[in-house]
Structure 1
Amino acid sequence: MIRTPLRPLARILRARETGENPDVIEAENRAQRHAVIQDGARNRAQGRLFIMAMAFVLAFVTVGMRMGVMAASQPSEPRAQVTGAQIISQRADITDRHGRVLATNLLTHSLYAHPRQMVDPDAAAEKLAAIFPDLKAADLKEDFSGKRSFLWIKKKISPEQMQQVHDIGEPGLLFGPREMRLYPNDRIASHILGGSTFGKEDVASAEVVGIAGVEKAFDHWLRNPANEGAPLVLSVDLTVQAAMEEVLKNGMNIMKAKGATGILMEVKTGEVLAMASLPDFDPNDRPRPLLTGDPSDSPLFNRAVQGQYELGSTFKIFPITQAIDLKLVSPTTMINANAPMRIGKYLINEFRSHNYGTLSVTDIIVKSSNVGTVRVAQMLGADRQKDFLEKLGFFEPTPVEMSEGPTGKPLVPKRWPAVTSATVSFGHGLAASPLHLASAYATLANGGKRVSPTLVHGRARKEGEQVISAQAAQTGVQLMRQVVVRGSGRSADVVGYEVAGKTGTADKPRPSGGYYKNKVVSTFASVFPASNPEYVLVVTLDEPTSTGPGGESRTAGATSAPVAGEMVRRLAPLLGLRPLTETPLPTVERPLADGIKLVSN
C-alpha cells in the first residue's frame, strides 16, 4: 500500500510562492487519511455483523427443522444401545406359484418392564393380567418386586393391546418395535410352511428364524439380504391346497380316521401342487412338540413326509410293470394264483380267503391278487426286485425341500429272503412315506423317467433316469385304469377324467411285534388322465372305518378311494382340466377290496 505524504513538497513550494499556508495542505491530507481508515473499519464491522446474523439464522433454521421432524415422527421410548452384531430382522415372503402370499412379515411391538422405574407395580400387574389372560397377576407382582432391572412381559402384542397397556400410564412399561412372521391363511399348508420363532433379539428388534418345513429348509435364503427381498415361490397352488384340505378333512371325519394325508403332484416336473397332513395346526400359534408317546399323535407330525407306512397293494403295480418291461409276462399272460401259497413256513392267502385260480396279469392287478403278484415277483428274483425299488427311490429319503425330508427314510428289510421278496411285492415288510409312493407313481406316469418331488416352482431340473421303458410304464398305467373301471378302485372313478389307480390296505404293525387285527392304513394312489397322465394323487387314511349297508369296512376301496374320487372331482376343474367324453359306468354299491393275511405254520 502506497501512503500519500501529509506535506507533499511540490504543493508546499507552490503554496509558499502564492502566499498560502502549508499547514492547511497537511490538515486536508490528514483528514482524507482518517476518512479512509474509518471506511475500512466500518466495512469490517459490517462484515462481522453479517456473518453473526447468518450464523444465528442458520442455527434457528436447524433447530426449527429438527423440532418439525420430531413432531412428525412416531414417539418412542429412549433405550440404551448395546454393542454387537446387528440383528437382521427382515425376512423374505413366501408365495404360492401364482404369487399369493403364504408367509410374510408384520410390524408389531414387544412389551417389557423396568421394575425399578415403576410407580405402582401392583396396580400395573393387575391391569396387565386383565389385558393378557395368560398372565397371572400374582406372578407379575412377584417379578416386579424382585431384584431384576429388566423383564420381558410379551414378545408380541397387537396394536389394540399396545394401546391398552399405554393407557395404564405406567412409566416402567416400555414397548420395542419388531417384525413378526405372519401366516395369513391360518392352517392352510401349515405342514409345508412349518413355522418360525425368534432367534437373537433385543428390545428394538428380533431375528425371525425357521423351525420347521420350508421356513427352516430355506432359512438362510430367506434371511439373505443379497436376494433384495425377492420372495420364495413355492410350487403349491393355494386354491388347490385349500380345496384338498377341505375334502380330506371331511373324508377323514366321515371315515372316522385317526389321521389323513393327501398329495397332488405334477407328473412332468415333480412339483407338488398340494400336500396336506391331518390333523394340522396354525403356524401363527404353533403348538409344542410331544415329549412322550407316539410322535404321529402330534399335529406337528407330517404324515406325508415323516409317516412310514406299509402301503399295501399299491406296491403290486411295481413287480408287474417290471416283469412286463423285462418281457417275462404280458397283460394277457395267465398266472397260477391258487391260494394259499406256501413259502417256507409261511402261507400267503388272499383277502377274505379268496381263491382266484388262474388269472391273467391284468386280472391280478384288477382283483389285487397277493398270490398272483408273488408268482410274478418270483420270476424277477430278489436282486432285480430290490434294484427296481431302489431306482424308484424307496431306499432313501425324498429330496423334497423340507426340514423333515431327511427324517422320512423308508424302513427297508436288512435281509431279503424269499418270504421278504414275496411280502414286499404286495406292500408289506417295507415301510415308506406317501410322498415316496407319489414319486414312484409319477415315474410310471412319466414314461418311466424318474421323478423327484419338489416344492420350488420353476426351478430348472435335470431329466430323470429312465427307470423302465416308456411302453411298460404306459401299460402299467392302463392296468391301473382297469382297477378303477372294474376293480377295487371303482369308487374313485370320475367320469371325464380317466382316473387310473390302485388301492392298498395294510394292517398296522404293533410296537411290540405283529399286526393289529382291526387297525389299518388304507391308501389309494392314482394318476389322471390315464390316456395322457398329468397329475398324481395319493390319499392315505390312518385307521379308517367305513360304515355302509354291508356293515363296517376298512378296505381302501371303501375308505380312501371315494375320498380320492371326490378330490379329483373338486381339483380337476381348478387345474384347468377339461373332462373327456366317456361312456358313464354303472354305479356299484360295494367295490372290491384287497388285503393280506400271513399265517405261520
Structure 2
Amino acid sequence: MKFGFGLPGRRKQAALNGHEPAGSEKPAGEMSFVGLRKKHGNKARNRLWMAIAGFVCVYGVIGGKLIYFGVLSGAEEETTGPAVAQLASRPDILDRNGEILATDIKTASLYAEPRKIVDPDETLEMLATVLPDLDWETTYRRLKGEQGFIWIKRGLTPKQQSQIMALGLPGIGFRTEKRRFYPGGPTASHILGLVNIDNQGIAGMEKYIDSQGLSDLRSVGLATGQSLEPVRLSIDIRVQHIVRDVLVKAMERYRAIAAGAVVLNVKTGEVIAMGSVPDFDPNNPVHALDKDRLNRMSAGTYEMGSTIKTFTTAMALDSGKFTLQSRVDASRPLVVGKQVIRDFHGKGRVLTLPEVFIYSSNIGSGHEANVVGIEGHRAFLKKMGLLDRMETELPEVARPVEPRVWKKVHSMTISFGHGMMTTPLQTAVAAAALMNGGKLIPPTFLVRTQEEAAKVAKQVTSPQVSADMRYLYRLNATAPGGSGKRAAVPGYRVGGKTGTAEKVVNGRYAKDVRFNAFLAAFPMDDPAYVVLTIIDEPKPEPGKFAATAGLNAAPMVAEIISRSASFLGVKPDFEQESEPAMVSAERTYD
C-alpha cells in the first residue's frame, strides 16, 4: 500500500498541463479555497484602483489650483498690485436733466516691487524715457529699498501704459484703479469740487456726498459701482456753461481780477447755475488751491455795496414806518460823529421812497435806518439770513462779518452797503425772499420741488412788502435815472439793483478800486429766478471814464438772461413791457 499527498496519475498530469480532465470535479474543500482567493483578490484590486483614483484626483486638484493661482495671480498682480485694496466706487453726479457731470473711469497706475528689481539704475533710466517728469532722486532711492510695494506713478494714460509694458522691466507692474472724470472740465468746478488720489471727496459736492454715508459704505466694502445710485443736482449744465462763458469774457473785457454769478430759483431755492472765475479743472487740479481760485460766491465775504439798499428799503417798508409815498430829506449830507454820509449823484432835495431806491441815495438809506433804529435794523438783516453762516450742501461757505457792537454809525453805513460783509450767494437767497411773497428758502444744490421747499420755507416779510419790492426792482430798470437799464432784456421784464462798493486798500476806502454787483430778478410780474453778478476790481473800458456796476455787472446779467431764459422755461412776453409809474416828490414818471 502506497501513501502520499500527490494527486492520482491522470489528474496530476492534467493539472500539470493546466486543465482538468473532462467530467472531473474538484473536491469541495478545494473549491472553497479558490472562491475565497478570488473574492479577496477582487477587493484588493478595487482598493488599489480606488487609491490610484483618489491620488489622481487630489493631485489633479492641487495641480489645477497651482496652475490657476499661478496664471490668475500673475494677472491680478499685474493689474491691481500685491496686497493693495481696490479703490471704492463713487456714484455718478448728474445735472437736473440727467447729463453726467462726474463719473468713475478705469485708469492704470504704475507700481514697483523693489525686491524683484535687478538693476535700479537701468529701470529708472528706462522709465524716464516714458515718464520724463519723474523725481529721479526720490524714485531711485525707493527702487533700491527693501519694500515689497511702492507707487511710481498714478493715473497713467493708455499710451504711457503701453510704452512701459513694451520695456519689459522686471519688478514693474500696473494696477487698474478708478479715477474721477469730469466731462465738463472747469465748467462747474466750484460746485462739483474734486477728489484726492484715492478717489475720496475733498471739496464741493464730492465732499458732501462722502459726508452723507459714502465714507461709511467704503469702510465696510459696500461702495461698489452697482450699489450706488446717481446723485442728481439742481444744476442745469446748459445754463452753467452760459454763466461761465459770460464770466470769462467779462473778466477779460473789464480787465477785472475775478467775476462770479448765480442763477437761483425763487420758488424752490434751487441753485440752477453758479460760477466763480478764475476757476480750475478738476481733471487736472494743479491750481485748485491757488489763492485766486477761491469760490467767491459762497466762500468769500464782501461789502455788497448798494445792493444792500434792497434790504434797507424792505426793512423800512416792513417796519410800518414807511410806505411808497413816504418822503425823505436828502438835501443835506448826514453827519454821524466824524462820519459824513453823502450821495454819489445827489439830487439835493426831498426824495420819495422809490426815488431813494432808484437814485441809490446813501443819505436816504441812512435816514431809513435811523428811523427803524439799531436793534430793528440788525434784527431785520438777521431775519433775512444775512448775518449768519448760510446752510447748504456746499462745504465751502463763509461766515458773514458784522461789527462786534452795533452803533449808530454802523447802522448808517451798513444801510448803504459798507461796514458789513456777506457772501454773494446768501445775498441772492435773501433777495429771492423779497421776490416770492416773503418766504426765505434755504438754498440747495440738489433737486427740490415746490412742495418740499414749502416745508423748509420761513415767512420773513409780508406779501405786500414783497409786492412793493418787485415794483421797485422793475422801476429801477425802466424809470429815467434808474441804474438797472443796462440789465434790461426785451420781453423778459428784468428788474434789479446795482451795487458799487469801494474796496479797502491799506485801511482806507479806495475810490478807484471797486467790487461791483447787480442783483436782478425776472420776469417781474411773477419772478421765477434771481440772477446776481459780481465783478472784482473792474477797469473802465477804452473810451470810458467810469467802471460802476451799471456799466459792467448789469450787462453781465442781461447776457445771462437773454441766453439762458429759453432753457429756464421763461417765454418772452412783449405785451407786458410797459413801465410802472414812479412816485416822485416833484412829478410822476409815466
Summarize deviations over 1:409-465 as a string: whole Å, max 9, x none: 111112222221111111111111101101101111121111211112238453322
Summarize deviations over 1:342-378 as a string: whole Å, max 9, x none: 22332211114x2341222112111111112222222
Output the CA distance in 1 between the equivalents of 2:122 and 2:26.
93
Summarize deviations over 1:577-601 as a string: whole Å, max 9, x none: 1111246689xxxxxxxxxxxxxxx
Contact 1:191–1:213 under 8 Å retained in 2 = yes
Q: 1:211 aligns with which of 199, 202, 209?
A: 202
Contact 1:263–1:275 under 8 Å retained in 2 = yes
Output the CA distance in 1 between the equivalents of 2:111 and 2:564.
48
Output the CA distance in 2 between the equivalents of 1:316 and 1:348.
15
Output the CA distance in 2 between the equivalents of 1:96 and 1:66.
50
* Bigger shift: residues 69-78 or 421-430: 69-78
- 2:9 is the counterpart of 1:42: no
* Bigger shift: residues 54-63 or 372-381: 54-63
Contact 1:289–1:298 under 8 Å retained in 2 = no
TM-score by length of 2: 0.84
* Bigger shift: residues 458-467 or 210-219: 458-467
Aligned to 2:6: none
Aligned to 1:75: 75
Aligned to 1:27: 27
Aligned to 2:489: 494
Contact 2:514–2:536 under 8 Å retained in 1 = yes
Aligned to 1:519: 513
- 2:493 is the counterpart of 1:508: no
Q: Does the C-alpha gap of structure 1 residues 359 and 64 become closer, same or farther in structure 2, counting only changes over 3 Å? A: same
Q: Does the C-alpha gap of structure 1 residues 383 and 217 become closer, same or farther in structure 2, counting only changes over 3 Å? A: same
Query: What is the Cα deviation at residue 403 of structure 1?
Result: 2.1
Contact 2:81–2:173 under 8 Å retained in 1 = no
Query: What is the Cα deviation at residue 505 of structure 1?
Result: 0.3
5+ residue gaps, structure 2, are 1-23, 580-590
State the secondary structure of the residue aligned to 1:422: helix
Q: Percent identity?
A: 35
Aligned to 1:444: 434
- 2:91 is the counterpart of 1:92: yes
Output the CA distance in 1 between the equivalents of 2:401 and 2:34.
112
Output the CA distance in 1 between the equivalents of 2:33 and 2:301.
111
Query: What is the Cα deviation at residue 186 of structure 1?
Result: 1.1
Q: 1:426 aligns with which of 416, 429, 436?
A: 416
Aligned to 2:113: 114
Q: 2:399 aligns with which of 383, 390, 409?
A: 409
Aligned to 1:251: 250
Aligned to 1:379: 371
State the secondary structure of the residue aligned to 1:322: helix
Aligned to 2:21: none
Query: What is the Cα deviation at residue 52 of structure 1?
Result: 4.1
Q: How does 1:391-406 map to 2 (within 5 A)?
A: 391-405=383-397
Aligned to 1:343: 336
Q: 1:534 aligns with which of 518, 524, 528?
A: 528
Aligned to 1:469: 462
Contact 1:340–1:355 under 8 Å retained in 2 = no
Q: Does the C-alpha gap of structure 1 residues 160 and 73 become closer, same or farther in structure 2, counting only changes over 3 Å? A: farther
Q: How does 1:18-417 map to 2 (within 5 A)?
A: 27-28=27-28, 30-31=30-31, 34-35=34-35, 38-39=38-39, 41-42=41-42, 45-46=45-46, 49=49, 52-53=52-53, 56=56, 60=60, 75-77=75-77, 89-137=88-136, 140-141=139-140, 144-145=143-144, 151-198=150-197, 207-220=198-211, 221-225=213-217, 228-287=227-286, 297-299=291-293, 301-352=294-345, 354-405=346-397, 408-417=398-407
Summarize deviations over 1:123-156 as a string: whole Å, max 9, x none: 3322322322322556644554567675432122
Output the CA distance in 2 between the equivalents of 1:120 and 1:44.
60
5+ residue gaps, structure 1, are 1-23, 199-206, 587-601
Q: Does the C-alpha gap of structure 1 residues 73 and 474 become closer, same or farther in structure 2, counting only changes over 3 Å? A: farther
Query: What is the Cα deviation at residue 165 of structure 1?
Result: 1.3
Query: What is the Cα deviation at residue 467 of structure 1?
Result: 0.6
Q: Does the C-alpha gap of structure 1 residues 584 and 171 become closer, same or farther in structure 2, counting only changes over 3 Å? A: same
Q: Does the C-alpha gap of structure 1 residues 135 and 519 become closer, same or farther in structure 2, counting only changes over 3 Å? A: same
Contact 1:92–1:223 under 8 Å retained in 2 = no
Output the CA distance in 2 between the equivalents of 1:113 and 1:71.
19
**In structure 2, what residue type is equivalent to 1:219?**
D
Summarize deviations over 1:138-194 as a string: whole Å, max 9, x none: 664455456767543212212221121111211032323322222222111111122
- 2:444 is the counterpart of 1:454: yes
**In structure 1, what residue type is equivalent to 2:499?**
G
Contact 2:486–2:551 under 8 Å retained in 1 = yes
Query: What is the Cα deviation at residue 35 of structure 1?
Result: 3.5
Contact 1:339–1:348 under 8 Å retained in 2 = no
Contact 1:129–1:136 under 8 Å retained in 2 = no
* Bigger shift: residues 263-272 or 342-351: 342-351
Output the CA distance in 1 between the equivalents of 2:521 and 2:61.
74
Summarize deviations over 1:86-143 as a string: whole Å, max 9, x none: 6762222222222322222222232233344333433332232232232255664455
State the secondary structure of the residue aligned to 1:432: coil
Query: What is the Cα deviation at residue 53 of structure 1?
Result: 4.4
**In structure 2, what residue type is equivalent to 1:544?**
P
Q: Does the C-alpha gap of structure 1 residues 321 and 185 become closer, same or farther in structure 2, counting only changes over 3 Å? A: same
Q: Does the C-alpha gap of structure 1 residues 534 and 138 become closer, same or farther in structure 2, counting only changes over 3 Å? A: same
Summarize deviations over 1:29-59 as a string: whole Å, max 9, x none: 7426633652564366347536744874786
**In structure 1, what residue type is equivalent to 2:183?**
P
State the secondary structure of the residue aligned to 2:496: strand
Output the CA distance in 2 between the equivalents of 1:81 and 1:175.
10
Query: What is the Cα deviation at residue 28 of structure 1?
Result: 4.6
Contact 1:124–1:168 under 8 Å retained in 2 = no
Contact 1:260–1:279 under 8 Å retained in 2 = yes
Summarize deviations over 1:274-307 as a string: whole Å, max 9, x none: 11011000112223676xxxx8x422x1100111
Query: What is the Cα deviation at residue 473 of structure 1?
Result: 0.9
Output the CA distance in 1 between the equivalents of 2:500 and 2:229.
44
**In structure 2, what residue type is equivalent to 1:222?**
L
Aligned to 2:539: 545
Query: What is the Cα deviation at residue 270 of structure 1?
Result: 1.0
Query: What is the Cα deviation at residue 382 of structure 1?
Result: 1.3
Query: What is the Cα deviation at residue 73 of structure 1?
Result: 9.2
Contact 2:442–2:456 under 8 Å retained in 1 = no
